[in-house]
Amino acid sequence: MTTGAWIDNVRTDVKHAARSLRRSPGFAAVAILALAIGIGGNTAIFSVIDATRTQAIPYRDPQQLMYLIGTAKRATVERRGASYPDFLDWRAQITHFEDLAAFDAQLMTLADADESERISTEFVSASYFSLLGVRPALGRVFGASEDDVAKPEAVVVLSDGLWRRRFGADPGVVGQPVTLNGQPFTVLGVMTPGFTGVTDEAQLWIPFAQYAPQRTMRDRGSRGFTVLGRLESGATRASAQAELDTIASRLELEYAKTNEGRGIELSPLATEIYGPLRLALQVLMGAIALVLLIACANVANLLIARSEVRRREIALRVAIGAGRVRLLQQLVTESCVLTLIGAGAGLLMAQVTIGLLVAQSPVTFPSIAAPGLDGRVAAFTIVVSLVCGVCVGLAPWWQIRFADLSNRLRESSRSSAGPGSQALRHSLVVAEVALAVVLLVGASLMIQSVRRMAAIDPGFETGSLLTVHVSVPRAPLPPTNGQPSSPAPPVATGRELLEGIASVPGVVAVGLGNDLPLDGNAGASFYSVEGRGPFTAQDRPRAWMHRVSPGFFDALRIPLVAGRTFLDNELIPTPSAVIVSERVAARFWPTEDPIGKRLTLGSVDANVQWLTVIGVVRDVRYRTLRQTANTDPDIYLPFADRNAQIAFAIRTNVPPASVMAPVRAAIRGVAASIAVYDVESMDARVRSQSSRERFTSWVMSVFAAIALGLCALGIYGVMSYAVTQRTREIGIRLALGAQPREVLQTIVRSGAGLILAGIAIGTVASVAMRRVVSAQIVNVPLTDPAAGLALVLFAFVGLAACLVPGLRATRLDPVRALRQE
């Protein structure tokens, strides 16, 4: 066949398909709706996945950008960050990278005469901007002089958003002073609109030389920041990782005291930005693909039923010379017309769904991810619709492929479908049921996972608890004898702030610390225990250190297991008392009274300052609800007013939201220059721990409901068609005295067999699904009652779909049934 003839055939088939759909509006509406739901859902999820692809990151050759993260080998390999001396050695010895840049994110207080606010800040090396391939809109970025740790320059680069919001888009802002954490800085430049750094939150940038005091920058054992690198052209991730492993081994030999068990992890920037989100989206893409398969099976069943009605027409076409290949072309073209119309409706549906998906998601999408309908998404939709059209069109063709079409012309229109047709339709229903079961079980497990996370005991009472963070600036002091004065005291003490907050009506208890549970601000340190050790690098004791007030444990209602809490006279910069969590006591004094035992921060040396254990408190899930048994424990030290960042735990006897404004006012009443930020109830912090699971379970539940509806429709369609085909048989049985109950049982039994077969296959497939989504499910086995309830629900809906046509069959008039064509 020539190309021209083939095109003419396609054109003819398209016109025939359009006329056929107009003659069968009910069939067309049901099929198009099913396809629109499946294709539209796939388009919506694909648009989000497409927006999170590496190439969508708005930097030069983003696939070449890598994080270099310092690691420590303990029971497992843990991320610990880099030290500045290590960074300098990495940079000097690499050959597979264009360059490296040190960076870290912090919150800083930007203050002027009218307002103080916390600003997301990135401390970066001068090479940071060139690695990303970004340029300033005004002024300049950092150069070599700003990288000099010995002479750190107090300059900043502003984001476009901050420049417009706080400086009124003043083009003369370069050279102006700003105050950050009470220290003067000079504006060096302004970045282009939309640039917020690799953290996606930065509003200004400070030279990395300002990151820490010089003694800390010289300390190879002081780690915490991340390094950004760009692979050389032609270098692979594997070769670069091998080089970094060699460098880490070399440094371990040279600096055994600080670098034992230290490594370097290489991770693509895209993985760090999109990693957790991508996993959830991949699960959802698999789920909506199952919905599309169910929709296709439904439409295929409709087309098979329709081909039975058209069997004389098809036989006639064969009789006048149409070959089976030509017949295949016609059926596939007709189904492609149907799926393309469904795709058009699906695109309209996706346009609404994408916005809803992003807006309702408890997971924060990166600002650089902008899901929407574009050429790539449209191309995906067209390809999916054509593939669906081909697959759907093959079903009726396969049904008639081996049929004796020459006999069709001699058949009465009353002839029932052949056994091959019936087997194919039943197989499609079983497949629909199996796919829907996988979705239902998956959704039920996700919902149960969220519930189990919500039920995890964090070790303290989360209800009626408000969390507030403040940044306390220091009062500027005039120079002494022309020289800068010593560090000024804060404008307010922790005690003054506690008293102000405690006076707010509705507050029943308040405690403070340098951090709070689940706020992500805790810092870890190694410690030594008197009479214990020595330890290897892998099992050296490490704990998360918290400086807290005496009322901290009462406000959070963390139970005291033994001993006592701090006294007011113990709140000094160099404490002698310490409170430990249960796991510290269980590790070092399992059979002894821990009260009176001693430990020290760091290693034991000649100038050791021992801390005496005065109390033991219950273990708390301080950093995450997913905390494992080998997670480092917590150690509490007395709070001292030398940290500018303070966190308050405020217990109330009224809804926490109702005291947010009065608490802010009380803090500002102590000192108007204090920046108040990150005000949130503890319940909200707990909910945020399961945001990814809640997002996935919410969307999967919607998909499962759609699959359940489509599957019920498919079962109903098959059973209705079976009743229609057996109308004469049922009429004869009723005329001969069969009871309506017997007819109903026969029809429901037939449908129940299909449902049970599908449930059995779907249950087996759910085992494989459980392994695939294991990272999204927290401690929920496949045998969880929720999965069983999902199967019961499905069986109930499926039987209801069988019952409707069955009841209709029992009401048939035998005389009219015998006369029916």
**Which DSSP state fits 520?**
S
Over residues 478-503, the mean pLDDT reads 74
| Per-residue confidence (pLDDT) for residue 615, from 0 to 100 | 96
Report the alpha-carbon distance of residue 274 to residue 366 in Å, rounded: 8
- pLDDT-derived band at 413 (thresholds 50, 70, 90) equals very low
Q: At what angle do helices 311-319 and 269-309 cross, to 10 degrees?
A: 80
Separation of CA 220 from chain center: 35
pLDDT higher than threshold 80 for residue 187: yes
Report the alpha-carbon distance of residue 254 to residue 247 in Å, rounded: 11
Residues 77-93 pLDDT 10s = 888 889 999 999 999 99
The first and second tokens of residue 388, run together, are: 């669906």
Residues 569-592 pLDDT 10s = 888 878 899 999 999 999 999 999
Over residues 540-551, the mean pLDDT reads 91
* Contact call for residues 314 and 469 (beta carbons, < 8 A): no
Q: Which residues pair with 312 in a beta bridge?
A: none
Over residues 457-473, the mean pLDDT reads 91
Over residues 268-276, the mean pLDDT reads 86
| Per-residue confidence (pLDDT) for residue 777, from 0 to 100 | 61
Report the alpha-carbon distance of residue 195 to residue 162 in Å, rounded: 11
pLDDT higher than threshold 80 for residue 484: no
Window from 155-159, 314-318, 449-453, 728-732 with minimum mean pLDDT: 314-318
Over residues 626-648, the mean pLDDT reads 82
Report the alpha-carbon distance of residue 322 to residue 320 in Å, rounded: 6
Over residues 112-119, the mean pLDDT reads 76
Interior CA angle at 68 toward 67 and 72, to 5°? 130
pLDDT higher than threshold 50 for residue 254: yes
| Per-residue confidence (pLDDT) for residue 49, from 0 to 100 | 83
pLDDT higher than threshold 70 for residue 408: no
Report the alpha-carbon distance of residue 716 to residue 304 in Å, rounded: 15
30-44, 271-285, 459-473, range with greatest mean pLDDT: 459-473
| Per-residue confidence (pLDDT) for residue 462, from 0 to 100 | 92
pLDDT higher than threshold 90 for residue 656: yes
Q: Quick count: other Cβ atoms within 10 Å of Cβ 458?
A: 21
Report the alpha-carbon distance of residue 336 to residue 299 in Å, rounded: 12
| Per-residue confidence (pLDDT) for residue 412, from 0 to 100 | 47
pLDDT higher than threshold 70 for residue 57: yes
- pLDDT-derived band at 780 (thresholds 50, 70, 90) equals low
Annotated domain spans of the chain: 1-96+232-291+316-377, 102-212, 465-476+488-688
